[in-house]
Amino acid sequence: MDQSKLCDLNDEILKRRFYNCMMNSFLPDKISQTPAALLNGYFAEIVTINTTNSKFLRSPPVHHSHHRKFHKHSKDHAIYHIQDQFLEDIPEEQPEVTSMLGSCPDHQKEKLKYFCETCDEPICLDCTVTEHRKHRFSYLRDVYHKQKHSMASLLGQGKTQMENTRKSLNEIKNMLFKLHEERTSMEKAIQKHTQILIATLQQQEDKLLNELNSAFKTKESSLRKEKQHFELILERLSGSCQFTEGAIKIGNELEILVIQKHLKRRLNEISNTRRDYNTKNYRNIYFFHDENSVETTRKALGHVLVSDTCSDLSTANGDGLSKAHVGTPAEFVVKAKGFDNQPKTCGGDLVTIDVRSPNKATVRSEIVDRGDGSYAVGFTPSLNGEHEVGIAIHHQPIKGSPFKVMVTNPRIYSNVTRPTLCIGGLGEVKGKFKLPCGVAVDSEGKILVADCHNNRVQIFDPQGKFLKSFGNQGDKNGQLNHPTDVAVDRHGNIIVCDKDNHRVQRFTKDGVFINKFGGYGETQGKFKRPWGVSLGNEDEIIVTDRRNSRVQIFKEDGSLLRVLGCHGHAQGQLDHPYHAIMDANGQIFITDSNNHAVKVFDSNGNFVRAIGAEENGQSMLKYPTGIAFDMDNHVIVSDQYNHRVQVFNEDGSLKATLASGLNGLAQKCYPKGVAVSPGGYIVVADSDNHRVIVL
């Protein structure tokens, strides 16, 4: 609200207040008889009002009187007649506005002619001295066009929301349609699966019944034959016995002897027949079944699962999704999330893994449901080359699937005797460097270099061929002032440590500025000559704040997550650190340069151990700078003033020393930034020789 309009509004309010005062001091029928000059003189001090910019209060002629009392006033002020000025009506609003106004709900005779900006509502004049006293308000006519524009903006928002709502409605309609289709499909699947099981059960029933029938028939046939045999023997024995009984009664000596011999032979035959009896007829027939078969069958029918797991929001993390060695298990973890983007806390989801080798053959994988919403997965590749890992939950691919995994043979560092590739040389043209300090390698093997004194980032292919560069000297967005390090996130965005601008900048893979954070200072979130930058397991941005002797960890939008370390020489303290990286367990490894060690902190910022801090020996470090993990989680450290690269095991023991062939033609190698390619090669920024070497 401009000054002139404020003056007009103040004038009018003062008039109304003075009018109310006069009404309370004089009788209504005496007001018209009060001499104007008297009122002008007596109330001059009260009613002196600035009129320079007023449209409603104009300076009238002053009536002189013998009993008037003159008061000094400025040229921008005027004395008003009570009759002529203070009792006049307040000017009406514009017709097109006032025609739409209603009466004030609190003051029925007053129209809503003002707008309270404090309360965001129309008010009347009386409201300005009562409920809305000391509030900011304006004439409705003054806010009319502003509100009209605001309404147009709101209308636009409303239409946008209508369109979004319409899209959401269409999505719901499609979901309902798909829901019906899915229900029908699942009903058919259940019925088909059940019919298959029923058919299988019926076939098994028929088979069992046939086996039972065959067994009983076989035994019955055998028993019947035995029965007939014994009936025949019994008949013969009966006949022989009857004949013998008769012979005993009436037979002579010779007949008895003959009959005795016959009977003895017959009894021997029967006795032998009894000994030849088929023992198979004594075998029993049984029916056995698994006591858990009913439950097993019930489970075999399947079950209906209602899950709030959203595959599109679910993620997977771990080294096994980017790199692996032949014959060595590659591992990663799938983390399920719900539609609210919150991690699941229970298991039971259907997680499927499809690992394909370079020849498209399926590689066997194992899945372990941890029961907390996460699933541990492992597979062992047998071939070199790029593998594809597809991950799905309930047959829907998760975020980022399929993943590309580069499988190589384990690196044998004892075979590294000289660089396999040298890039650059002193110069300002493309492909040349001036004190390159930091390096990074993306998932495709491209090499990114922080070309410090050329104030740019240069990008090369895996063979060292120049591709492009971006950045120039300055402090505006996208400009650089002695960049010292570079990193690449999983989306291909490039993060640059802009040292002498005391900030970190993010760029797209094409070098287009995204955002920045930091600034000079000692408070948390600020920097003093930051040197190194790297990415955490969830793409957290890890920055070594060198002059503040600390490491700060940020989200990609620049919001601070936590701070590690402070200046000092004790175990958990730092003195001008160069670089920091995070392992798969969330531990932070920091090259504590002036303390000549690599300090390790856990995910909560607690000191764990130091590497290379021995006072003597081959593993001793001297002003270490760059640090990286190789594909076997060995710790690669640029041992700057020892002119070498050291390879440590995770426990801090020395595995290998790479020094042969590192020194340049101009002077010794002072390695700074270091990175590892997808193929397992070590990329080193040889700053003082203005080159990048690959080991």
What is the predicted pLDDT for the residue at 328? 87
Please check whether residues 553 and 476 belong to one and the same domain. yes
Cβ neighbours of residue 624 closer than 8 Å, sequence gap 6 or more? 578, 591, 592, 593, 596, 597, 598, 612, 637, 638, 639, 640
Rounded distance, CA 651 to CA 631, Å?
Answer: 16
Question: Is residue 302 one of the residues assigned to a domain?
Answer: no
For the record, the structure tokens of 367 come out as 């899945």
Looking at 100-114, 155-169, 509-523, 548-562, which range is the least confident one? 100-114
Residue 9 binned pLDDT confidence (cut-offs 50, 70, 90) = low
pLDDT at 11 over 70: no
Ranges of beta strands (E only) in 489-623 are 494-498, 503-507, 513-518, 532-535, 541-545, 550-554, 560-564, 580-582, 588-592, 597-601, 607-611
Does residue 114 fall inside a structural domain?
no
In this structure, the answer to whether residues 330 and 249 fall within a common structural domain is no
Q: Is 610 inside a domain boundary?
A: yes
Residues 254 and 369 in one domain: no
**Domain end call among 272, 296, 331:** 272
Model pTM greater than 0.85? no
Mean pLDDT for the stretch of residues 14-40: 44
CATH number at residue 337: 2.60.40.10
- Judgement on whether residues 445 and 358 belong to the same structural domain of the protein: no
Are 149 and 224 contained in the same domain?
A: yes
**pLDDT at residue 2 is higher than 90:** no
**Same-domain pairing of 492 and 597:** yes
For residues 445 and 677, is the Cβ–Cβ distance under 8 A?
Answer: yes
The yes-or-no verdict on residue 22 having pLDDT over 60 is no
SS in 3 state form for 291-349?
Answer: CCHHHHHHHHCCCCCCCCECCCCCEEECHHHCEEECCCCEEEEEECEECCCCECCCCCC
Largest CA distance in the chain: 198
Q: Does some domain include residue 531?
A: yes
Residue 277 lies inside a defined structural domain of this protein: no
CATH number at residue 599: 2.120.10.30
Q: Are residues 173 and 246 in the same domain?
A: yes
Report in angstroms the alpha-carbon separations of 110 from 103, 104, 126.
6, 6, 7
Given a cut of 70, whether residue 463 has pLDDT beyond it is: yes
Q: Pick from 391, 408, 425: which residue ends a domain?
A: 408
Distance in angstroms (rounded) separating the CA atoms of residues 314 and 79: 78
| Structure confidence by residue, pLDDT tens digits, 501-522 | 999 999 999 999 999 999 999 9
pLDDT at 426: 93
Is residue 587's pLDDT more than 80? yes
Domain finish residue from 254, 272, 290: 272
Q: Judge whether 636 lies within some domain.
A: no
Residues 234-291: pLDDT tens digits? 887 787 777 777 777 776 777 777 777 777 777 777 777 655 555 555 677 777 777 7
Containing structural domain, residue 567:
436-622+673-694
Same-domain pairing of 493 and 580: yes
User: Above 50 in pLDDT, residue 619?
Assistant: yes
Average pLDDT, the chain: 81
For residue 15, being part of any structural domain is answered with no
Domain count, the chain: 3
Q: Do 458 and 603 share a structural domain?
A: yes
Residue 402 sits in the same domain as residue 456: no
Judgement on whether residues 404 and 443 belong to the same structural domain of the protein: no
Same domain, 538 and 682: yes
Lowest mean pLDDT among 86-90, 209-213, 345-349: 86-90
User: What was the pLDDT predicted at 519?
Assistant: 95
Beginning with the edge strand found earlier in the chain, give each strand of the sheet holding 654-658 in spatial order. Answer: 624-629, 635-639, 644-648, 654-658
pLDDT at position 141 is 77
